[in-house]
Structure 1
Amino acid sequence: MLWKPILLALLAPTIHALLRFSCSQLVIERLDPLVNPGISQSPHLHQIIGGNAFNVSMDPAISPADQATCTTCTFSEDTSNYWTAVLFFRARNGTFKRVPIKGNSGFESSSGGMTVYYTPTIASTAAKVTAFKKGFRMIVGNPSYRTEAEAKQFRQLTYTCLQTITTRTGETLDFPKKPCPVGVMVNVRFPTCWDGVNLDSPDHMSHVAYPQSGTFETNGPCPATHPVKVPQLFYEVIWDTTKFNDKALWPEDGSQPFVWSFGDKTGYGNHGDYVFGWKGDALQKAMDSNCNINCPQLKTQSIATGNKCAQKQKVPENIDGWLTELPGGMMVQ
């Protein structure tokens, strides 16, 4: 895997070990086995990466690692599934166009997807984290949120208006309000404290928590209710908004034109989902080894091989071309 050394300082100045890897697109469709298990089409569209065990329902007693035959991730022992909503451009005439995804720095040949991070330790402490367990799953963010005050409940769900592919400053809680030269990067950082007991919870969030003060990166302590430190799981998704940078295409009032597939035009409803699916103790081994980007303790595959792992939509639906409404008929609000 390629890596540009300057990014380490830009991305995580206080961290001395992390996994950073590419996972290309598995499928884009309206499925959500966490929020809408068993429902053949969830209310809004998602983009999914990882193992090909992703399905309408995913029994927590059965690990994706036991069912997946391939993964889109460059660490081939990772058959987890990671997903977010999908970004759309809304034209002046009210029609919608799906915004494509492009590869991150060092992964330019990837066919979209995400960059995934697992951070095992903090530079200021020798304390290590406990890897997620079989059956573990979680969600961060809330698609119903539309205000800054609501969005602040999740400390690290942000947007970066990319001036270059290595821009890592100027994060905002809402959509950028001006054209971004290289695209819009969506940052999804999950809580890093676990109650140590429950692999999931009814809202898929209560079993995890943010540090009691500060953030994982600043070594904030975990609350007593969630004493177990787990890895900092972090997604970066780069949406190629550049083809829509002509302000003549934007609303006449100058407001930003992008909207999430669940109808959010503010950006405050940013959220992400995760189902753990690493094989055996591979993730714990990587965390204990303090792997720094590359990890000899893990098996890898080429981006080209990962790109070959794909699913067809289980319920075929038109998500390309100019659409008169968002998939599922989601209203913009």
Structure 2
Amino acid sequence: MPSRTAKITTALVAVTVGAGGLGAAPLFAQGGSDGPRGGGHHHGPPAQGAQQPGSGLGVGPGTGFGQMPGAPATQPGVPGTQPGSGPRTPAPGMASPDITSPRVGPGGDTFLGEGMRRGRSFRVSCGFAKSGIFDPIVFPGQDPAGHDHQFFGATTINKDSTGASLVAANINGDATTCTRLRDGSAYWMPSLQVADDPANPVTVQPDEIRVRYHAPRGQRVRSFPVGFTLVAGDKGATTVQANAGWRCEFDRPGTPLEAAPPPCDTDEAIVGVVRFPNCWDGRNATNPTQAHMAYRVNGACPTTHPVAVPELVEEVFWPSDGQDHAYQLSSGNAAGLHADFINGWDQRALRNQVRRWLNRRG
């Protein structure tokens, strides 16, 4: 498989004829080299068990930098494969629970919550499924509505999707791009765009999403019910958020997250990170305003939301060409990173995962 360097750099060369802005031609990269790096990103070799550059999902047909505005949505992925390539090789340990510590966020402090570096976790990795201007949580039944999203996991996701419909579609484990075939959930974020020419932004096609299911230390968690939904992050934010931000794939643990994608090296990804609340009111599986959920306070769930459920951290990986671009989201400012989740797990499988990895004793 071509390296990230070979995938990327012609993105900015493809516009030399005509409009003079990004998006004027298909972005099929032919080569490239490391570009300038921003301050504050200190890198070392990938940690043990981390995905090696080029070993995971590619960036879609032709391994181009992104897809053109208005281009047809990429075909849904097939478990264990990627468009235009052979079988996908998960990173070492990807198919088994990962109980390592994620990175710390703004200020090198508690972005991932009190006890996140302790507690217990398992991880799911899912390929890019499709993009679309719909949102079955916020705008159910409407298409187009809202802004463009990049979806992972459930390949049947659409404007009418519910948790029950996702579970039914994935009854045989063949309607998901996730490494855990019983996870038919839908995970999504707004599309990432290069906006060096604001009049012609170019959408960057993602590689994959990695989702960490976490039980903070001292908390036993209840499995998500069918139809459970989550939304996290503030799309109107203009500065780095407490629960969302950006980093480079191989940033050292403790590197603060940023309000916009930093210039990452060509052998690593740009990573958008969103942490979800894990305190539930115990009654409503979904709510358009997300009033059924709350974040922990001083390590404990508030009395208004007393039921602890798994804490999700979504990390989406986009390729980098090593340059310091102006990035934005399809929803607006890059600081307004946010993410969504619809539970489409086989319920027995999810309960087993929660019992075995999050609530186990010893």
My pick for the range that moved more, 134-143 or 13-22, is 13-22
Separation in 1, partners of 2:351, 2:215: 9
Q: Is the 8 A contact 2:103 2:255 kept in 1?
A: no
Relative distance call for 1:171 and 1:291 in structure 2 (3 A) is: same
Paired residue for 1:324? none
Helix, strand or coil for the counterpart of 1:58?
coil
Relative distance call for 1:73 and 1:184 in structure 2 (3 A) is: same
| Aligned-pair CA distance for 1:59 | 4.1
| Aligned-pair CA distance for 1:6 | 11
Separation in 2, partners of 1:196, 1:93: 44
Q: Is the 8 A contact 1:120 1:288 kept in 2?
A: no
Relative distance call for 1:242 and 1:57 in structure 2 (3 A) is: same
**Match status 1:40 vs 2:143:** yes
The structure 2 residue matched to 1:119, chosen from 191, 195, 214, is 214
The structure 2 residue matched to 1:159, chosen from 241, 246, 263, is 246
Paired residue for 1:288? 355
Separation in 1, partners of 2:308, 2:192: 32
Q: Is the 8 A contact 2:247 2:258 kept in 1?
A: no
**Match status 1:64 vs 2:169:** no
Separation in 2, partners of 1:120, 1:63: 27
Relative distance call for 1:78 and 1:93 in structure 2 (3 A) is: closer
The 5-angstrom pairing of residues 225-304 of structure 1 reads 225-242=304-321, 245=323, 250=325, 257-264=326-333, 267-290=334-357
Paired residue for 1:104? none
Paired residue for 1:135? 227
Paired residue for 1:147? 238
Relative distance call for 1:228 and 1:18 in structure 2 (3 A) is: same
Helix, strand or coil for the counterpart of 1:172?
coil
Separation in 2, partners of 1:10, 1:140: 18
Structure 1 gap ranges (5+): 102-111, 214-219, 251-256, 293-333
TM-score normalised by L of structure 1? 0.68
Paired AA for residue 276 in structure 1: N
Relative distance call for 1:59 and 1:78 in structure 2 (3 A) is: closer
The structure 2 residue matched to 1:99, chosen from 177, 189, 204, is 204
Separation in 1, partners of 2:186, 2:198: 36
Paired residue for 2:52? none
Separation in 2, partners of 1:146, 1:14: 26
**Using CA pairs below 8 Å that are at least 6 residues apart, which structure has the higher relative contact order?**
1
Paired AA for residue 26 in structure 1: A
TM-score normalised by L of structure 2? 0.63
Count, aligned residues = 252
Paired residue for 2:264? 180
Separation in 1, partners of 2:309, 2:99: 23
Paired AA for residue 315 in structure 2: E
Relative distance call for 1:222 and 1:96 in structure 2 (3 A) is: same
Q: Is the 8 A contact 1:17 1:291 kept in 2?
A: yes
Helix, strand or coil for the counterpart of 2:350?
helix
Report sequence identity in percent: 29
The structure 2 residue matched to 1:202, chosen from 288, 296, 300, is 288
| Aligned-pair CA distance for 1:9 | 4.2
Structure 2 gap ranges (5+): 1-89, 105-115
Paired AA for residue 70 in structure 1: A
| Aligned-pair CA distance for 1:146 | 3.3
Separation in 2, partners of 1:210, 1:6: 23
Relative distance call for 1:55 and 1:274 in structure 2 (3 A) is: same
| Aligned-pair CA distance for 1:47 | 0.7
| Aligned-pair CA distance for 1:169 | 3.2
Per-residue CA deviations over 1:36-86 (Å, capped at 9, x if unaligned) read 2111212311111112331211245x3411123421111111101011011
The structure 2 residue matched to 1:89, chosen from 176, 194, 201, is 194
Q: Is the 8 A contact 1:136 1:276 kept in 2?
A: yes
Paired AA for residue 136 in structure 1: F
Paired AA for residue 201 in structure 1: N
Paired AA for residue 179 in structure 1: P
After superposition, the CA RMSD in angstroms is 2.7
Separation in 2, partners of 1:6, 1:74: 13
Q: Is the 8 A contact 2:133 2:149 kept in 1?
A: yes
